[in-house]
Chain A
Amino acid sequence: MTYDASTRRDGQSAGSTAADRTFWGRLSAWGPYHALMRLTTASPRRQFLILAAFPILWVLTQHLGPMLQMLRVSLTDAYPVAPGVEQSFTLDNYARFFGDSIFWMPFFRTLTFAGVFTFCTLIITYPVAYFLARHVSRKNQMLFLLLLLIPFWVGEIVRTYAIMILLGNTGAVNLALKTLGLIDRPIPFMYTSFSMGVGIVYLTALYMLLPLYSALEKLPQSMNEAAADLGAGAWTRFRRVSLPLTIEGISSGCTLVFLISTGFYATPVLLGGPSTTVFAETIAGFFHVAGDEWPTGAAFATIMFLAALIITTVFQRLMKMLRKGESA
């Protein structure tokens, strides 16, 4: 077998077979494209700028922009501005929040609810994640997890409605309790903080389950066995081995669930009652009426966002300290 590589045949043949080129060959040889590429890739720096310009513009204008605009509107006295009226900056919208308990009550209620519901979600999903990660064989893990994923593809509203049917006065729970002879009259579960809690935990459980599962899955089984070998009982093993090593998963799961919980609007409206009005409803109220209430709504949303941000940041710091304390 001989191979004559020294003959540069391609140079001669390229022209004669131009029409026969592949798509990519034609594209890269096409004048305008060639010129464009030469222009855009002239230097690594220029190439980077062209690659980076759009994403950076996008995150600034589309991701950060709405938040900044909300902040700006919250500092104005009227929005949208009526023609001929001077718009001025003011802190009144923020002052209004503290002036009336009708505003700050729902605010604190929302934060309390979100905290409590987050804790409930953690308590409920931790054993589930633990079971999935530690007691189910690798082969079946995806299947068991998938079983839990399916209901979570269903939307917020449909699932909220499902809870309404479950907990209603003529709902499944009351029917079951009655059949068992435990109650004579139905228990009014609906339109209370209980029904709201059941609904919100139902909606957010997956966001807790997944971080916990991935944290637990990383723990080697041998760690537990070693602890057992050293005479640690089930509770001690959990307390001293699994829990400290999954703090990161707990931290991110709780942060996610807390942020999501504070943002629900439809679920509290449908499942809650007058005594459980959350801040989302208060904020929404300013946008249902005439436009001049927008600045107040924006101010309240800003307050809410800052509060959620501060709480989750402090929480994450605490968890980090806790983890360091454990390992020390």
Chain B
Amino acid sequence: MNDRPELFRGNRIFLACIYWAFVLYVFVPLILMVLMGFKDSRFIGFPIRSWTLEWYTGVFADTEVLSTFGYSIAIAVLSTLISILVGTWIAVLLEGRKFAGRGLTFGLTLLPALVPGIISAIAFRIYARWLGIEPGMGAIVWAHAVHNVPFVVLVVMARLSTLPKSQIEAARDLGADPLITFLRITLPYLVPAILGASIFCLLLSFDDFVRSFFLGGYEPTLPVMIFAMLRSGMSPEINAIATVALVLTAAIGLWAERFTRRMNKER
């Protein structure tokens, strides 16, 4: 940063302070929450005088909590598969193609991402009823899948726009029909984008509360379970569960970040 002119130094120090203050703002609440999970008392509050792993052992012994984790992960995986399939298809249609109604199709594609959470949940709830989908796993998977499609489309379109058209033409020229061309040229090229989008969808689905809450049956997803527990008061078990969820999502996110960056570098 030595190349920056001296002139802006005062600003820089000031802005650096704001940046680090912001880092504290986003990290401190989470760190405190994690610490609270190790406090040797049922009472949530500071100061912490002694430490324990009791809450964690309790949580991991609880099969209901474990099955909720599994339920949430299953929903995330299934909805992601659908979103990726549909989103990639839409992206292939929209990218670099001109046709009547393209703008409208693109706008409609983005719609689920722009509808405020509660409204989207309500609309899905009503639509599910109309379609005859019972509240439960199927309904949640469906709602998550629809909600996440726009993100997949945007990520895949961005990648697709950098694929030289000559690659497609070369494959066709060498005797590949459109489908084989897609499978052998386009799809391998899209892999980094699809992986990145998959991770994003998994996290969105795993973290989603409002759609899971309104479309769920008796079995709660993880955020819904934490919400229900919170309504009856704070407890260290919640901290333990939330911490496990936090570590899980942050680890997946970090791994994906590194992985997609490496893939992008290779190409």
Touch between A and B in complex, CB under 8 Å?
yes
| Closest chain A residue, CB of each to CB of B225 | A157
B23 within 8 A of A: yes
A211 within 8 A of B: no
B234 within 8 A of A: yes
| Contact assessment for A162 and B245 in the assembled complex, using a CB-CB cutoff below 8 Å | no
B156 within 8 A of A: no
Interface residue from A47, A158, A162, A224 paired with B178 (Cβ < 8 Å): A47
Contact with B along A297-325 (1 / 0, CB 8 A): 11001001100100000000000000000
B18 within 8 A of A: yes
Interface residue from B19, B27, B32, B203 paired with A151 (Cβ < 8 Å): B27
Report A133-151 residues with CB < 8 Å from chain B CB: 135-137, 142, 144, 146-151
| Closest chain B residue, CB of each to CB of A59 | B108
The complex places the Cα of A162 from the Cα of B108 at a distance, in Å, of: 35
CB distance from A277 to the nearest CB of B (A): 13
For residue A305, which residues in chain B have a CB less than 8 angstroms away from its CB? 115-116, 119
Contact with B along A71-103 (1 / 0, CB 8 A): 001000001100000000000000000000000
CB distance from A180 to the nearest CB of B (A): 14
| Contact assessment for A64 and B209 in the assembled complex, using a CB-CB cutoff below 8 Å | no
Report B14-51 residues with CB < 8 Å from chain A CB: 15-16, 18-19, 22-23, 25-30, 32-33, 36, 43-47
Query: Which of B1-9, B59-67, B160-168, B187-195 forms part of the interface with chain A?
Result: B1-9
A212 within 8 A of B: no
| Contact assessment for B36 and A280 in the assembled complex, using a CB-CB cutoff below 8 Å | no
Q: Is the interface of B mostly helix, strand, loop or mixed?
A: helix
CB distance from B3 to the nearest CB of A (A): 8
The complex places the Cα of A130 from the Cα of B17 at a distance, in Å, of: 12
| Tally of A-B Cβ pairs under 8 angstroms | 266
For residue A259, which residues in chain B have a CB less than 8 angstroms away from its CB? 114-116
| Contact assessment for B15 and A131 in the assembled complex, using a CB-CB cutoff below 8 Å | yes
| Contact assessment for A263 and B120 in the assembled complex, using a CB-CB cutoff below 8 Å | yes
| Closest chain B residue, CB of each to CB of A130 | B15
B259 within 8 A of A: no
For residue B18, which residues in chain A have a CB less than 8 angstroms away from its CB? 127-128, 131
| Contact assessment for A170 and B19 in the assembled complex, using a CB-CB cutoff below 8 Å | no
Interface size band for A: 35 or more
| Contact assessment for A166 and B27 in the assembled complex, using a CB-CB cutoff below 8 Å | no
For residue A132, which residues in chain B have a CB less than 8 angstroms away from its CB? 19
For residue B105, which residues in chain A have a CB less than 8 angstroms away from its CB? 55-56, 59
Please judge, given known A-B contacts A70-B126, A148-B26, A202-B29, whether A55 and B117 are in contact too, CB under 8 Å: no
Please judge, given known A-B contacts A135-B1, A166-B28, A301-B118, whether A66 and B124 are in contact too, CB under 8 Å: yes
Interface residue from B45, B127, B250, B252 paired with A65 (Cβ < 8 Å): B127
Report A21-68 residues with CB < 8 Å from chain B CB: 24, 27-28, 37, 41, 47-48, 51-52, 54-56, 58-60, 62-67
Interface residue from A127, A151, A164 paired with B30 (Cβ < 8 Å): A151
| Contact assessment for B245 and A205 in the assembled complex, using a CB-CB cutoff below 8 Å | no
The complex places the Cα of A151 from the Cα of B127 at a distance, in Å, of: 33
| Contact assessment for A52 and B126 in the assembled complex, using a CB-CB cutoff below 8 Å | no
For residue B178, which residues in chain A have a CB less than 8 angstroms away from its CB? 37, 41, 47
Please judge, given known A-B contacts A64-B111, A150-B253, whether A304 and B119 are in contact too, CB under 8 Å: yes
| Contact assessment for B99 and A48 in the assembled complex, using a CB-CB cutoff below 8 Å | yes
| Closest chain A residue, CB of each to CB of B15 | A131
A163 within 8 A of B: yes
| Closest chain B residue, CB of each to CB of A132 | B19
For residue A55, which residues in chain B have a CB less than 8 angstroms away from its CB? 86, 89-90, 93-94, 105, 109
The complex places the Cα of A66 from the Cα of B1 at a distance, in Å, of: 51
The complex places the Cα of A157 from the Cα of B249 at a distance, in Å, of: 13
A122 within 8 A of B: no
The complex places the Cα of A48 from the Cα of B96 at a distance, in Å, of: 13
For residue A70, which residues in chain B have a CB less than 8 angstroms away from its CB? 119, 122-123, 126-127
| Contact assessment for A202 and B116 in the assembled complex, using a CB-CB cutoff below 8 Å | no
| Contact assessment for A155 and B122 in the assembled complex, using a CB-CB cutoff below 8 Å | no
A104 within 8 A of B: no
CB distance from B184 to the nearest CB of A (A): 7
Report A154-169 residues with CB < 8 Å from chain B CB: 154-159, 161-166, 168-169
Inter-chain pairs besides A144-B19, A228-B7, 20 sampled, C-beta below 8 Å = A37-B177, A63-B112, A66-B120, A128-B15, A130-B15, A131-B12, A137-B1, A150-B250, A158-B207, A165-B239, A168-B44, A168-B45, A170-B45, A171-B32, A172-B32, A202-B25, A225-B7, A263-B119, A270-B230, A280-B118
23 contacts between A and B (CB under 8 A): A47-B178, A59-B90, A66-B127, A67-B123, A69-B130, A73-B126, A136-B1, A146-B254, A149-B253, A149-B257, A150-B253, A156-B207, A157-B227, A157-B242, A158-B30, A161-B242, A162-B33, A162-B242, A165-B29, A225-B5, A270-B227, A287-B122, A298-B122
Chain B residues in the interface with A (C-beta under 8 A)? 1, 4-5, 7-8, 10-12, 15-16, 18-19, 22-23, 25-30, 32-33, 36, 43-47, 86, 89-90, 92-94, 99, 101, 105, 108-109, 111-112, 114-127, 129-130, 146, 149, 175-180, 184, 203, 206-210, 213-214, 223, 226-227, 230-231, 234, 238-239, 242, 245-246, 249-250, 252-254, 257, 261
Q: What are the 4 closest A-B residue pairs judged by CB atoms, nearest first? A: A170-B45, A263-B116, A155-B207, A263-B117
